[in-house]
Structure 1
Amino acid sequence: MFNQIKYFIAVVKNKNFTKAAEECNISQPAISQQIKELEAMLGTQLLERKGRSFTLTKAGKYFYNHSQDVLNNVEILIEETQKIGNQKIEPYVLHAGYLRNFGTREFLKAVEEFSKEYPDIKLNITNGSHEKLYLALEDNKLDIALNDLRRAPSEKYINKFLITSGFEVVVNKKLVDFNQTKIQMKDLVDLPCILVVSPSEQADEEYYYRDILGVGGDFLITNTYEQAFLMVTLCQGYLVINNRTKDQIPHNSEVISLPLYNGGEKMEQKYYAFWKADNSGYYVESFFDILKKQFE
């Protein structure tokens, strides 16, 4: 049936049995017979024949629209099966990445469990900013990434929700009221926002913090969180983190972490697992399933 579906798609695309037969390297009578056998197997007519031409029946239109997806999935299945079968010759490598400022607990636990379940699969792990991970997926340097959602969902990618986490501000206690339990973005306008980014990522991160989160002040740039926390301690600026990672803040009696609000709304970020739709293989999906369990 696999070949019959291929022949049917070729006939419809070429709008001609002879051209389809040439494309599929079989004779015209043979491809006509294969289409008839496909119709007999389905128990319905797909083509309304009119001399040397034809039109699609209602069932034929439905079958054509959906058979292409089925064919693509079968081709992916064949490719993945061949990869698994050839592992002894060429080990399969799964490239996975996670957002640098998200925290490592769940991701590394997933790596550990995946490695135990699939000991023959090599894992290549990386971390980075949102933009670094996005570009790595786009360039096929990553198979799957744990990242925050900053772009509108695209059919090019599979987007699987993992968790929502509130934003918090790490700031020196001297700069807030003693009994303060939350902080407004507008109250930070005169204080620089500290970003932990590389020079190549600075412009994208500044855009996100300015235009999406609403940062109104200047930016200070550093490439390590240790340096960022030192800058907070010295009242040089504030640092935005997610509330999952506040337990990683170095013990320091001079700083405090407060939930970030914009008016009456608590500011939050959604985190997803992303991978390309055309790279949705067995091991990518297995890694996601294990990663998802870490958040349940």
Structure 2
Amino acid sequence: MINGNYLKYFYWTVKENSSKKAGQICHKTQSAISQAIKSLEISLDTNLLIRYNNYFELTEEGKDLYVFAQKYIDDFEILQKKLHAPKIKKPQLKIGISQNYEEKVSKFINLFLKKSISYELSIESWDGDIIRKKFSEGNYDIIFGIHFEAEDRIPTSSFEHNSLFLFDDKIGLCADKNHHEFKNKNCYLENLLEYPMILSKHTKKAIQTQIKNNSIKLNAIALTNNPKTIANLMKDTDYISLLSECSIPLEHKNNIKYFNEKSLSANFPIVMSYRTEPHFGCNKGRQDFLNFTKNNLSLFNIF
């Protein structure tokens, strides 16, 4: 294998017709340059130069190696320029995802990335309330989550002009797969409500409003917005909960079952909301992502 530095020293020696000048260019002593060329000849097992008192001539092998060295030096300089050239910064598209839908939405975003390499994506996943607040403050171009009426926080299908409906998230009564009531063929709602219930903060009011006419009282013992926490609390216990299948962490999906209890179920519209101001954030990225989403809405029913 040819030593790249030795090849460089040989090239400049021949080009400048002087090992002294080659040393000045390569910041080496004249003797170091001469020794490097001798080492190069030894490694190639051939003479590259015919040396005289005050000058040298190239052998045929030396002439061939000089042509090779010239291309090597040129290619190396081109590579260096590419590596040190200022990188073009891609526009950043900022996306916020309500943590209950992180898994489903992330799969969709990955498909977009395969189609477009024009943008850098900044993705954050938080509690839905935090995502909506940060969106209103101008921290995101796009957000994903449940669409609520601003004041009463009831899910609604009446969308603003800057929201795109994606799919309905079905919320249902669920428990650990080994829960006692799953073994009971005559399962009644009254029996289910005897068990302590863990509710998600952001769905509690919506569920309570929906079942208010049935005069059902929920025996809520804990409130949290983290579906993983809820799934962990239900594992191997008699706790029950109201959860969407989308929100259940992948590692818990096989451990949770749903009761066929329609009076304790709901459909929550999941939407993608986006900024519409032309000069806000990554406008081109928002438009590209919006068009991609409109053309691929059916994928949300597959994930």
TM-score, with length taken from structure 2: 0.53
C-alpha change, 1:248 and 1:168, in structure 2 (3 Å) is farther
Quote the residue 1:276 is aligned against: 275
- What CA distance in whole angstroms lies between the structure 2 residues aligned with 1:183 and 1:227? 27
Match runs of 1:144-163 below 5 Å: 144-151=142-149, 153=158, 155=160, 157-163=161-167
Q: How far off is 1:92 after superposition?
A: 1.4
Q: CA RMSD in A?
A: 3.5
Letter of the 1:146 partner, please give it.
Answer: F
Query: Residues of 1 paired with 2:269 and 2:248: CA distance?
Result: 17
Q: 2:223 is matched with which residue? A: 221
Given candidates 119, 122, 140, the residue that maps to 1:121 is: 119
Which structure 2 residues correspond to residues 118-267 of structure 1 after superposition, within 5 A?
118-151=116-149, 153=158, 155=160, 157-172=161-176, 173-178=178-183, 188-195=192-199, 202=201, 206-211=204-209, 216-222=218-224, 224-235=226-237, 237-244=239-246, 248=250, 250=252, 255-262=256-263, 267=266
Shift in alpha-carbon separation, 1:102–1:283, aligned structure 2, 3 A: same
Alpha-carbon contact 2:181-2:192 (below 8 Å) kept: no
Q: In 1, are the aligned partners of 2:228 and 2:249 still within 8 Å (CA)? A: no
Aligned to 2:300: 295
Structure 1 length-normalised TM: 0.54
Larger radius of gyration: 2
Aligned 8 A contact 1:130 1:147 in 2: yes
Q: Which residue of 2 aligns with 1:15?
A: none
Runs (5+) with no aligned partner, structure 1: 1-87, 197-201
Q: Which amino acid aligns with 1:275?
A: Y
Report the CA distance between 1:224 and its aligned residue.
Answer: 4.6
Letter in 2 for 1:176: E
What is the match of residue 92 of structure 1? Answer: 91
Please list the CA deviations of residues 109-167 of structure 1 after superposition, one character each: whole Å capped at 9, or x if unmatched: 33223323332311011112321221121011111111112225464x51111112322
Cα shift at 1:234:
4.3
Measure how far apart 1:250 and its partner are: 2.2
Give the CA deviation at 1:221: 3.5
AA aligned to 1:268 is: N
3-state secondary structure, aligned to 1:113 = helix
Q: For 1:110, give the aligned amino acid.
A: F
Q: 1:183 to 1:134 in 2, by over 3 A?
A: farther
Q: Distance in 2 between matches of 1:94 and 1:213?
A: 40
* Distance (Å, rounded) in 1 between the aligned partners of 2:136 and 2:96: 13
Q: CA deviation at 1:236?
A: 5.4
Distance of 2:168 and 2:186 partners within structure 1 = 21
Over 3 Å counting, the alpha-carbon distance change for 1:183 and 1:131 in structure 2 is farther
Contact persistence 1:188–1:217 (CA under 8 A): no
Question: Which whole-Å CA distance do the structure 2 matches of 1:127 and 1:213 have between them?
Answer: 30
Partner residue of 1:111?
Answer: 109
Given that residues 182 and 261 in structure 1 are in contact (C-alpha distance below 8 angstroms), is that contact kept between their aligned partners in structure 2?
Answer: no
Figure out how many residues of one structure are paired with residues of the other and give that number.
197
The structure with more strand, counted as a fraction of residues: 1
CA 1:142–1:183 in structure 2 vs 1: closer, same or farther (change >3 Å)?
farther
Deviation string, structure 1 residues 57-93 (Cα, Å, up to 9, x no partner)? xxxxxxxxxxxxxxxxxxxxxxxxxxxxxxx776311
CA distance in 1, matches of 2:174, 2:181: 11
